[in-house]
Amino acid sequence: MQKEVVYIAELDADVDDVIAAEYLHNKGVLKCVVLDPKPKTDIGRQRVSDLQAIGITVLTKMPPVAKYVFVGGALTLVSSYIIGHKIDMLVMNGGFVGSNIVPENEQLDKFKDKKVIRTFNFNCDVIAADAVLKSSLNQIGGIILVGKNVCHSIKNTETGLWKDKEYADLFTKYHVKPGKRQHDMLACHEGLVNLGLLCEEAFVSRYEIVKPYNTGLRGNNTEWGSLSEDSKVTPYRIVMAAVSF
């Protein structure tokens, strides 16, 4: 199997990214991890060492060729990279599909009747998110988003989707609590299924083609949602977004 996945990781804040990186490595598809930003904390630097210890290449800038890019943090490096390069598929944990699209019986309780919310990944660098979501097909072939409306479900935990024995050692290694949502690993799984790199597995989420939108760029207070694919209100391109389980 070709190792074509470049994973952009933010290793200071949460354990999600290092777990997702090791997940991709264990599946035999990871080309390298790119740090954005370079870790500033002891725990972040230790996570770099942990990844390198199992043979993962860790970089501080994008490689010359990045066919499939999975993002666990900001879109800063992606927005710069697509100025002179093409990404075939961009996959990330981010965005939000709200009550204007998700049926009431499929909405998570915490997001009932909400159309927009703040989302961590986009708001790490809203200018970069704005640029990426306006990108052309010549810059990014396709975009898959797995947002809060799905990844915050109790199903996305060690006792739900990730209860198979193959994940037990990984969760033990990183002291994962049973209720911890595996935001980035879910996005990685869905991206690999879409690319045909997990032939024996299927999507765990239901998807729709939508267009992201926001209520105005206000830094990390920007609120994001989704509109139907034929909407003329948003300047953003269509994406494949997870709607529900």
E strands, the chain, in order: 5-9, 30-35, 58-59, 68-71, 87-93, 117-118, 140-146, 206-214, 223-228, 239-244
Q: According to the model, what pLDDT value does residue 1 have?
A: 59
108 to each of 77, 89, 150, 204, 220, how far by Cα in Å?
31, 28, 8, 16, 23
* pLDDT attached to residue 88: 98
Spell out, as residue ranges, where the chain has pLDDT lower than 70. Answer: 1
pLDDT of 166: 87
In this structure, CATH architecture of domain 5-244: Alpha-Beta Complex (3.90)
